Amino acid sequence: MTTTQFDVLSPDGFSIHHSDTYPTRDAAVDALKQWVKRYEFQGYYSSMNYGRIPLEDVHEYCNIIEVSTVNEDED
């Protein structure tokens, strides 16, 4: 059985979490909002590709993608 999940990619193309994917696009958006909060103290996200990105613009540089996972049937 195949399940569709969502992942959030940073402006540099890496997943924002090392293992989590999200069951809905809304959950992925919420995760992105929480991830951006990690950078509030410094006031920007520093990207290898784009330099300093103001926090209010980070979401425009991130991508939410669909990922398919295959669940093995339990016997």
Q: How confident is the model at residue 74 (pLDDT cuts 50, 70, 90)?
A: low
Q: Which are the contacts of 44, defined by CB distance < 8 A and separation ≥ 6?
A: 52, 53, 54, 55
Pairwise pLDDT comparison (39 vs 1), residue with the higher score: 39
- Using alpha carbons, select from 58, 29, 28, 30 the residue that is nearest to residue 42: 58
Q: Which domain does 12 fall in, by range?
A: 2-70
**Considering its fold, how many domains does the chain have in total?**
1
pTM to 2 decimal places = 0.84
Model confidence pLDDT, tens digit, residues 6-40: 999 999 999 999 989 999 999 999 999 999 999 99
- Asked whether residue 59 is assigned to any structural domain, the reply reads yes
DSSP letter for each residue of the chain = -EEEEEEEE-TTS-BSSSS--BSSHHHHHHHHHHHHHTTTTTTEEEETTTEEEEGGGHHHH-EEEEEEEEPPPP-
- Asked whether residue 53 is assigned to any structural domain, the reply reads yes
- Asked whether residue 75 is assigned to any structural domain, the reply reads no
- Asked whether residue 9 is assigned to any structural domain, the reply reads yes
Per-residue pLDDT for 44 more than 70? yes
